[in-house]
Structure 1
Amino acid sequence: MTRKQISAQYGVDTKTLRKWCERGNIKLPNGMLPPNQVQRIFETLGEWGE
């Protein structure tokens, strides 16, 4: 999954997603995100995007 796909699910811009991840202490690697990273993002930010 890409940052763009995740941000679309939350209905926010990719810059907003990056800021949310920084607040949640999640470092986003370049390129495609591995499944474990995607799961961590949804676990941490799940309540923010709902």
Structure 2
Amino acid sequence: MTQKAKSRQEIAEEFGISAKTLSRWILKEKLQIPQGLISPKDQELIYEKFGKAISK
């Protein structure tokens, strides 16, 4: 499980996309992700929906 909160930019970089594209994906899938840093719990929702990104 993920240990710390991350920014949208950090998560987007894991997927090799921009933060704006990540935000579009989240909106399209109607995920309820609050603004600001993304908690470990919400990160798991993102990874479950879009697959586990490759960490750098």
Give the TM-score normalised by structure 2. Answer: 0.73
Alpha-carbon distance, 1:28 to partner: 2.8
Cα RMSD for the two superposed structures: 1.8
Match of residue 25 from structure 2: 20
**Number of residues of Structure 1 aligned to a counterpart in Structure 2:** 49
- Output the amino acid matched with 1:43: E
Q: Gaps (5+ residues) in structure 1?
A: none
Could you tell me how far apart the structure 2 residues matched to 1:14 and 1:8 are?
Answer: 8
Give the TM-score normalised by structure 1. Answer: 0.80
SS in 2 for 1:26: coil
Q: Gaps (5+ residues) in structure 2?
A: 1-5
Runs of 4+ aligned residues of structure 1 deviating over 3 Å after TM superposition are: none
- Output the amino acid matched with 1:26: L
Higher helix share: 1
% identical equivalent positions = 27
